[in-house]
């Protein structure tokens, strides 16, 4: 808080104490009260003017750069950017730094505003000490950075004047310029940096959350991580209406390295009990087209942004980006552990893991889900694991998943286990791997659910797999799977088609699917297709787009003819492909070696394997005559090829040389 600035403002804002009707001692008390208000959390300044009082409030938010870490070259300059989409006038600006460098006195740093204004933070301070650890540059700090010694930690006044930025709009791309102006033999790392910005706000003193009353026509506004966490800690408000008014970043660096151990809203409060123990959210939460990113939870069960969405609840237009939800118990999802309400136009992407009932978006669904999707990587140590929903007891419609799914049994690209209800007009391209029974491209185990007008194209492997379903006891109508892309010629339900057939509208229209520009099967225009080039897509998909699944690291990815070229040619790191078949003993001998290489070179290369039995075109194109064959690619070009059982050292030596 800028104390000096606020004191100056009080003298400038038009309160003419000498000409006022207040007695001298009253004027003195009023002045003190105004100063107190100026230092409150929301920095409320009351201004006496003709006709009443004018109120100006401020709020403080931290914005972190993701353009890090960056190496600081010896005798060189490095820059890192931070783009802010929010708008608002700066009242106070501080800069937070985390830098590793052996000699702090070598470094000079400037902050550059979106309009090009430069402010010197410091130059050659600290003599021969090292590192800056959570160092805050603040005009109001009691000590200058030039008086400090490394490792620098705490708050210091910069050498320049950050107050020169006051009044500017926060929106735009900010740049941190770091220069090592000394020896070329010393280098360091810019690990992290952020801007802590106090900005003008129209929030009145005493307002709850970001404003609003919680009623349907005036929902509570959720604008910051603090608002969201406050909601989570106020169960008495769980039946109210909320609207997200800004993108919220839950990055652990912004929350003091906070990792949640329970759901943010409606958590399970007694993990010793198998059933949910807590207060479920029963209100309305409108994401308003905004996103919540970097939700990080490490806990037991009923995990997600919401632990439980109770009957009558509604979640709409909600996006979750880069979630990392890791549970050791049941019912884990990116958005909700358990849903009894309604979820519409919502999506998630990231990593979700748990034991039983784990889904990219929802762990267990006993409500309705419409126009939802997930691009998450979903893993389970138990069963009922799905790309979108772990276990379904009700309705899922016009939804899809495009991530990766792995577990033991009842594993599905869209739903792990489904019983009762319907799955209508949905699809999955998720790669699915299980180790036991009930492994399917769309649904792992279908009890009595009606599955209508759905398809799957992802690679399916392990256990007793099926192209569309692993086990089925329900009704399946007008559903298909790609026999080539999935690597599966059989399924417990649905009809297998070639990739070419799956890219024709007639395949689906003949089964009663409602496509745009046709009326024979309905006028809702649910599906469309890029004829001959792609699979059918849902017409609403262009309105929201979940992030792509994170690149696979530390694992061997099952490839198909449909995914091979993108895996090889779109990679910015080398790619190792194992051409194999399950009946080939030498291939099985090499499998553990390839898995070890994938783990040891995680992040440095991508490793995939292609079943030659289902990939005749790829085999022909690359002239694969014997298996196993191993090909190492870089930038889509073959750099090395091995045939037959190959010592691990031979493989790693060539990989190391290429890297």
DSSP 536-605: -EEGGGGG--PPPPPPP-SSEEEE-TTTHHHHHHT-SS-EEEEEE-TT-HHHHHHHHHHHHHHHHTBTTB
Share of the chain residues as helix, strand and coil, in percent rounded to the nearest 5? 15, 40, 45
Sheet containing 575-580, strands listed edge to edge, beginning at the edge strand earlier in sequence:
556-559, 606-611, 575-580, 629-634, 637-643
Count the neighbouring beta carbons within 10 Å of the beta carbon of residue 87.
11
Distances (CA, A) of 173 to 63, 81, 98, 111, 512: 12, 6, 20, 11, 50
DSSP 12-79: HSS--TTTSSS-HHHHHHHHHHHHHHHTSTT--EEEEETTEEEEEEEEEEEEE--S--EEE-TTEEEE
Nearest Cα to Cα of residue 329 among 290, 371, 301, 292: 301
Nearest Cα to Cα of residue 327 among 280, 268, 253, 400: 268
d(CA 504, CA 605): 35
d(CA 369, CA 361): 10
* Contact indicator for 494, 514 with CB cutoff of 8 Å: no
Catalytic residues: 584, 587
Within 382-442, strands assigned E span: 383-386, 389-392, 395-397, 400-401, 404-406, 409-412, 415-418, 422-424, 427-428, 431-433, 439-440
d(CA 83, CA 175): 9
Q: Is 280 exposed, middle or buried (0-12, 13-18, 19+ CB in 10 A)?
A: buried
DSSP 471-533: EE-S-EES-EEEHHHHS-S--SSSEEE-HHHHT-HHHHHTTT--BTT--TT-SS--EE--TTT
Look up residue 218 and give its DSSP letter.
B
Contacts of 634 (CB under 8 A, 6+ apart): 574, 575, 658
């Amino acid at each position: 808080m800028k104390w000096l600035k606020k004191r100056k403002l009080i003298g400038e804002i038009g309160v003419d104490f000498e000409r006022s009707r207040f007695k001298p001692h009253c004027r003195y008390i009023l002045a003190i009260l105004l100063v107190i208000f100026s230092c409150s959390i929301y920095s409320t300044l009351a201004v006496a003017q003709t006709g009443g009082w004018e109120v100006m409030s401020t709020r403080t938010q931290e914005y972190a750069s993701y353009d890090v870490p960056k190496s600081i070259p010896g005798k060189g300059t490095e820059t890192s950017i931070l783009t802010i989409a929010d708008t608002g006038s700066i009242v106070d600006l501080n800069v937070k730094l985390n830098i590793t460098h052996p000699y702090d006195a070598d470094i000079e740093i400037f902050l550059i505003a979106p309009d090009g204004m430069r402010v010197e933070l410091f130059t050659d301070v600290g003599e021969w000490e090292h590192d800056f650890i959570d160092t805050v540059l603040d005009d109001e700090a009691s000590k200058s950075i030039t008086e400090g010694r490394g490792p620098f930690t705490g708050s210091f006044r910069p050498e320049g004047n950050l107050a020169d930025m006051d009044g500017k709009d926060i929106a735009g791309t900010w740049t941190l310029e770091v220069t090592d102006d000394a020896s070329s033999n010393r280098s360091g790392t810019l690990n992290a940096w952020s801007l802590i910005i106090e900005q003008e706000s129209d929030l009145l003193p005493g307002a709850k959350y970001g404003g609003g009353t919680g009623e349907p026509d005036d929902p509570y506004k959720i604008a910051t991580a603090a608002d969201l966490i406050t909601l989570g800690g106020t169960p008495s408000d769980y039946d109210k209406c909320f609207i997200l008014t800004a993108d919220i970043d839950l990055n652990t660096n912004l929350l003091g390295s906070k990792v949640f151990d329970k759901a943010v809203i409606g958590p399970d409060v007694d993990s010793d009990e198998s059933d949910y123990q807590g207060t479920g959210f029963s209100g309305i939460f409108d994401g308003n087209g905004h996103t919540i990113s970097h939700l990080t939870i490490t806990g037991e069960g009923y995990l997600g942004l919401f632990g439980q969405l109770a009957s009558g609840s509604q979640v709409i237009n909600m996006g979750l980006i880069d979630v990392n939800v890791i549970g050791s118990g049941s019912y884990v999802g990116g958005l909700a552990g358990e849903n009894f309400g309604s979820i519409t136009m919502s999506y998630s992407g990231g990593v979700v893991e748990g034991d039983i009932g784990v889904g990219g978006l929802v762990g267990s669904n006993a409500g309705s889900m419409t126009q939802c999707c997930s691009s998450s990587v979903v893993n389970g140590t138990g069963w009922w694991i799905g790309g979108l929903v772990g276990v379904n007891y009700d309705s899922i419609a016009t939804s899809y998943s495009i991530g990766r799914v792995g577990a033991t049994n009842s594993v599905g690209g869209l739903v792990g286990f489904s019983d009762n209800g319907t799955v209508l007009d949905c699809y999955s391209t998720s790669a699915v791997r299980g180790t036991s029974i009930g492994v399917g491209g769309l649904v792992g185990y279908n009890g009595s659910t009606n599955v209508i007008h759905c398809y799957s194209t992802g690679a399916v492997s392990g256990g007793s797999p099926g192209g569309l379903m692993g086990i089925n006891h329900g009704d399946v109508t007008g559903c298909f799977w790609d026999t080539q892309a999935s690597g599966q010629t059989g399924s417990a339900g649905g009809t297998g088609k070639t990739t070419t057939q799956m890219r024709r509208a007639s395949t689906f229209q003949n089964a009663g699917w409602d496509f745009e520009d046709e009326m024979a099967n309905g006028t809702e225009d649910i599906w469309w297709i890029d004829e001959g080039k792609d699979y059918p897509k849902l017409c609403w998909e262009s309105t929201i787009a979940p992030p792509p699944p994170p690149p696979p690291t530390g694992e061997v990815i099952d490839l198909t003819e449909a995914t091979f070229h993108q895996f090889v040619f779109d990679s910015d790191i080398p790619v190792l492909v194992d051409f194999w078949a399950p009946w080939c003993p030498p291939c099985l001998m090499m499998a553990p070696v390839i898995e070890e290489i994938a783990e040891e070179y995680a992040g440095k290369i991508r490793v995939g394997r292609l079943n030659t039995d289902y990939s005749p075109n790829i085999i022909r194109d690359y002239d694969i005559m014997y298996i196993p064959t191993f090909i190492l690619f870089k930038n889509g070009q073959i750099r090395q090829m091995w045939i037959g059982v190959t010592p691990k050292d031979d493989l790693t030596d060539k990989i190391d040389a290429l890297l």
